[in-house]
């Protein structure tokens, strides 16, 4: 089985069995963003998860969360991120996510947060590296070593369909957990439990490998905390299913009950990005499957597709009336 089909089957299993947020293909590096892409990330909800879920179904930019824009006091937009072009994009993204709200006063834009961002909304982040066939491990050693040395995730797991031998286990760092997973039956065997990694300590990130040496960067705990928040937000906003637009408009296109793209002609789950299109000899123009990934995700996981939101109505220059169901912790007084 190819890695894409294996990966989606594992994501579906984890979503249904753990009650967690599951996402695919997220960045797992700090010093060199984009240098490490993690196959699957599992986010275990924390005590304040419901407050975060009620804020927005989309990812909220980390810089917007860490900014001085508060939930009860609007600030001039030009003062946010010093009015830089990157800052403007961050504000626009936060507005689209529903976390920031723009107001017009005396011909100028002001910005405020729609609610206080909740702490402790996620409890644990697990990184999963998929290698269905351990006979073709690829860059497994480098990938696993990177994750363990950096300690960005609470746990690191190797998932495989292969039979796991003692030799396989001896090649892996001790903290790495190992799962044997059958994507056809959905059966998972825990060969070795993962150990917790020191996410609050400095991490060592390999940045460049040479025949006789490996260059590394020391990543401070604060940098790791920020990256973990970014990963958590992207996991919440992205999920693991392809968007509906990615499904092929083909007469053979279908979807499984959990909304994985399926080809009726070949009889298995497919990767629309590489397996489908007019180059496929069996391609026949048609309509996309009726499966709605958003609806299915909301039904099968704690993610909320259409939360009540946290937008407040202006009651004065810097006082706002909370809307019923407001997830914010702040309760400002109502004006008469």
226-278 per-position pLDDT tens digit: 999 999 999 999 999 998 888 989 999 999 999 999 999 999 999 998 999 88
For the stretch 49-107, pLDDT in tens is: 999 999 999 999 999 999 989 887 889 988 888 768 888 899 999 999 999 999 998 88
Token pair 């409890």 is found at 123
Percent of the chain with pLDDT over 90: 74
Question: What's the burial of 24, exposed, middle or buried (CB within 10 Å: 0-12/13-18/19+)?
Answer: buried
- Give tens-digit pLDDT for 302-329: 999 999 865 544 333 333 333 334 443 3
Q: What are the DSSP E strand ranges found in the chain?
A: 21-27, 37-45, 75-76, 100-105, 108-113, 122-130, 155-160, 177-182, 187-192, 203-209, 214-219, 253-255, 261-263, 268-269, 313-314, 320-321
Per-residue pLDDT at 1: 64
Domains and CATH numbers, the chain: 3-50+119-238 (no CATH), 56-117+306-321 (1.10.10), 245-300 (no CATH)
Which pLDDT score, from 0 to 100, does residue 333 have? 32
Residues in the chain: 336
User: Per the confidence metrics, is the pTM higher than 0.85?
Assistant: yes
pLDDT at 309: 61
pLDDT given for residue 152 in this prediction: 98
Average pLDDT of span 120-149: 94
The tokens describing 333, both together, are 């007084």
């Amino acid at each position: 089985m190819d890695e894409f089909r294996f990966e989606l089957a594992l994501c579906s299993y984890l979503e249904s069995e753990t009650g967690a947020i599951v996402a695919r293909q997220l960045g797992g590096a700090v010093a060199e963003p984009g240098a490490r892409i993690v196959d699957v990330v599992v986010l275990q909800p924390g005590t304040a998860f419901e407050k975060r879920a009620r804020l927005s179904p989309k990812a909220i930019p980390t810089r917007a969360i860490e900014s001085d824009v508060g939930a009860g006091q609007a600030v001039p937009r030009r003062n946010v991120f010093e009015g830089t072009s990157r800052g403007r994009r961050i504000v626009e993204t936060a507005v689209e996510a529903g976390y920031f709200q723009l107001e017009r006063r005396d011909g100028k834009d002001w910005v405020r947060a729609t609610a206080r961002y909740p702490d402790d909304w996620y409890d644990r982040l697990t990184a999963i590296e998929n290698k269905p066939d351990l006979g073709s491990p690829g860059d497994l050693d480098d990938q696993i070593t990177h994750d363990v040395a950096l300690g960005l995730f609470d746990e690191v797991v190797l998932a495989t369909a292969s039979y796991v031998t003692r030799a396989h286990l001896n090649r892996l760092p001790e903290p790495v957990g190992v799962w044997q997973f059958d994507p056809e039956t959905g059966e998972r065997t825990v060969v070795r439990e993962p150990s917790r990694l020191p996410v609050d300590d400095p991490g060592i990130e390999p940045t460049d490998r040479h025949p006789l040496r490996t260059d590394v960067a020391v990543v401070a705990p604060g940098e790791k905390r920020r990256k973990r928040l970014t990963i958590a937000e992207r996991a919440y906003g992205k999920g693991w299913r392809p968007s509906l637009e990615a499904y092929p408009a083909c007469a053979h296109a279908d979807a499984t009950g959990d909304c994985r793209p399926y080809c009726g002609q070949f009889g298995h789950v497919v990767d629309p990005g590489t397996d489908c299109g007019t180059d496929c000899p069996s391609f026949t123009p048609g309509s996309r499957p009726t499966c709605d990934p958003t609806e299915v995700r909301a039904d099968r996981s704690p993610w909320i597709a259409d939360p009540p939101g946290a937008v407040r109505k202006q009651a004065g220059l810097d006082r706002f009336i909370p809307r019923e169901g407001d997830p914010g912790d702040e309760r400002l007084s109502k004006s008469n």
